[in-house]
Amino acid sequence: MTGALEPLIYVMIFIAVAMLTQATASSFFSASDRGKRINRRLTLLESGMSRDEAYSTLMQVSSLPELGNKQVRQWLKQMDQFRRQANVSVTLPQIGLMIAGAAAVLWVISLLRLLLTSSLTVASLIVTMVGAVLLPVVGVYMWLARLRNKRLKQIDEQLPSALDIMTRALKAGHPVVSALQLAANEIGDPLGTEFGLVVDETIYGMELRDALASFAERVGSQECHFFAVSIGIQAQTGGNLGEILEGLATIMRGRAALGRRIKSVSSEGRATAALMIALVPIAVATQSLVRPDSYINKFSDPIFWPSVGYCAVLFVIGVFTIRRIVNFKY
């Protein structure tokens, strides 16, 4: 029995490694391809796609299932917003299927290993299933968070240049929407496409303030929120918008310079924080897959579950504390 299952285990391990390699290569080459494009919106329009079709494609709206209560639906909406801010083409249900497929592969590999080394029990099935689900969830979240942070950094770097273009257009006599259109045509991705979506929404009848508020919420950048609020206040109170945007661009460049200095000083602490936060769930998931008996043998101990709850509370407190230490406000 052992000799017959051993080749199957090697085949499953090879399939898991091949799937991981393919996913990594696909994300790398798709990110490289996105970097080479100047502006996705202009590329779609030049290919013959209508403005409506390009808008629907770039908005990446996912059809979320109506599951659970209002809190669950709100959580799904936030997860889908997080996915869109990472600028991945796969939808939230597809990400769920990817996690389920990876978890199934890891679970089968772990069960086959247990068949060769020990007997299967209900407890070992549950523990290995928890580890098989936890590991892909943590991996996918880290992948999306990395893409999101990279995209937000690009947007924050592009925004002062876009404000300079808008300032020159406003001083030349262009209206605000026309200035936005000029910036959308001149700035590359990702900000150029987002500005183009704002222009499209104003064409479809949305107020400029509402379109900019939707843009700030959709992007998730604090700098974009400042930009949207500045235009909204100017629309209500009046004033020279060109001078406002020019001053805002100067402030953003100063904040960016200060932010780079702070990140360079705190880089070691932030790297240590990321490692400490990710190490705990990864270690627990790996131990559950490789040696589930190390947890199962402790289930009958009366101090085990209170200790698990106590450690979980300490972990959550530690995560919030570390984030407060390494995330500086400036």
Residue 197 maps to which CATH number? 1.20.81.30
CB atoms under 10 Å from CB of 301, counted, come to: 10
Q: How far apart are CA 88 and CA 100, in angstroms?
A: 18
- Predicted confidence at residue 35, as pLDDT, reads 40
Residue 252 within any structural domain of the chain: yes
C-alpha dihedral (157, 158, 160, 165), degrees to nearest 10: 160
Say if CB 178 and CB 169 are below 8 A apart: yes
Residue 88 within any structural domain of the chain: no
Say if CB 252 and CB 159 are below 8 A apart: yes
Residue 253 within any structural domain of the chain: yes
Q: How far is CA 92 from CA 8, 26, 75, 79, 251, in A?
A: 32, 18, 12, 8, 36
- Predicted confidence at residue 287, as pLDDT, reads 87
Q: How far is CA 66 from CA 77, 81, 90, in A?
A: 11, 16, 19
Say if CB 220 and CB 152 are below 8 A apart: yes
Tally of domains within the chain: 1
Residue 43 within any structural domain of the chain: no
Residue 193 within any structural domain of the chain: yes
Long-range pairs of 50-53 with CB within 8 A, sequence gap ≥ 24: 51/200, 51/203
Residue 203 within any structural domain of the chain: yes
- Predicted confidence at residue 279, as pLDDT, reads 86
Q: How far is CA 320 from CA 95, 149, 152, in A?
A: 27, 19, 22
- Predicted confidence at residue 2, as pLDDT, reads 46
pLDDT in single tens digits along all 330 residues of the chain: 444 555 555 456 556 655 665 555 555 544 444 444 456 667 766 666 766 666 666 666 555 555 556 777 788 888 888 888 888 878 888 888 999 999 999 898 888 888 877 777 888 888 889 889 998 998 899 899 999 999 999 999 999 999 999 999 999 888 889 999 999 888 888 898 889 888 888 888 888 888 898 899 889 888 999 899 988 888 788 778 889 999 999 999 998 888 888 888 878 778 888 888 888 888 888 888 888 888 888 888 889 889 989 999 998 998 888 878 777 665
Pair of tokens at residue 286:
């790996």
3-class DSSP assignment, residue 226: helix
Residue 92 within any structural domain of the chain: no
- Predicted confidence at residue 258, as pLDDT, reads 86
* Domain region containing 207: 154-265
- Predicted confidence at residue 236, as pLDDT, reads 81
Ramachandran region, residue 121 (left: φ > 0; alpha: ψ -120 to 50; beta: rest): beta
Say if CB 41 and CB 29 are below 8 A apart: no
Reference 87, options 138, 37, 17; nearest CA is: 37
Could you tell me which residues come within 8 angstroms of residue 308 by beta carbon, excluding any fewer than 6 positions away?
Answer: none
Residue 294 within any structural domain of the chain: no
